[in-house]
Structures are given as C-alpha cells and as structure tokens.
Amino acid sequence: MRPPRDDPYWDAFINRPPYDPNNVIPHAFKQVQPGGVNPVRTEVHSPNVMAQHVKELAHFYGAQRVGIVALGDGRSAIVCLMRSDYDTTTAHGVGAQTPAMKGLFATFTLGAYIRELGYTTEPCELEAEDLAHKARLVCKGTHIADIIVTDLPLEPDGKL
C-alpha cells in the first residue's frame, strides 16, 4: 500500500537524493571490486541447460525477468529486470533506489557464480534497453540491472 501522494515524508523517501551518497547502497555497492576467475573451468555440456540455471538463479536473487543476448563474438549478455514502481533514473531517493540495490545484488552475485565456474564477466558498454529488447523482454515497470557480459556458454533468447 502506497501512502497518499501529498505525504511529504514519502515524497522525500522516493525523490530526495541522499545528503551523503554512501547512505544509498547502490553507490557503496558499486565501489566493490569483483573477485577473480576460478582457474579450473567447469565444463558446460548444454548451453540451453546452463542458460536455464542462470535464469533460475537470477530469479532467486530477485529478478522479475531475465534474458540472454548473443553478442556474436562467443560472449553473451545477461539482462535482468527488477520490478520497480518508480523510475530509478529520475527518482533519486533512498526508497526509489531499492530496485537498483536489488539489481546490483543480483548481478554481482550472479557474476560471482559465473566466475566461480571459471568463466569471465565484465561490465557492458552496450545500451541496456536495446539489449533488453533484443532479449525479448518488456521493460515497462522495471529497472534494468547492470548487464553481465560473459564467455559462459549460454543459449540466447536473442542476438545482437
């Protein structure tokens, strides 16, 4: 249940940027460096089964929808959408940034799992909304979490 629109405390919770960025977990979480890649690579027999495992794990971490896009160079982009009542790019309050926090947790932990399997992960320089569209995901009412680019063999939902 949402408080009334004229509630000044709720408005501040959703829209007022924090005095100190360290009071918002996404800011602090982005400071954390990812771990190393396990030198012993796990063999993947079925990219379609591995893709399903990755999607189920992302759902477990809170992603509402997950898609995989083949990048054409042996790598894939994993796109996770988090349910969001507010646009995290315009509502900068602590409350509105909750989907961003959940998205960071999901992608950081998913990336850690992939690195533990012996595969690389790296930040994505491509447009997140374009990748979500190519993965056949509908973005309305969601926050697109950081994209994971990996060389883990995955069956894609779409291609770049």
CB 131 within 8 A of CB 77: yes
Answer with the residue of higher pLDDT: 57 or 123: 57
Region of residue 118 (left: phi > 0; alpha: psi -120 to 50; beta: else) = left
Copy the structure tokens of residue 99.
């989907």
Distance in angstroms (rounded) separating the CA atoms of residues 159 and 67: 11
Angle CA(84)–CA(80)–CA(121) in degrees, nearest 5?
140
**Nearest-CA neighbor of 76 among 44, 103, 30?**
44
Distance in angstroms (rounded) separating the CA atoms of residues 132 and 76: 13
* C-alpha separations of 30 from 27, 36, 130, 155, 156 in Å: 5, 16, 23, 28, 27
What does the pLDDT look like over 8-46, one tens digit per residue?
888 898 999 888 887 777 777 777 788 899 999 999 999
Mean pLDDT, the chain, as a whole number? 90
Angle CA(112)–CA(117)–CA(122) in degrees, nearest 5?
50
pLDDT of 33 reads 81
What does the pLDDT look like over 113-152, one tens digit per residue?
999 999 999 988 789 999 999 999 988 899 999 999 999 9
In the numeric block, the tokens 């990748």 are attached to 131
Q: Is the pTM above the cut of 0.95?
A: no
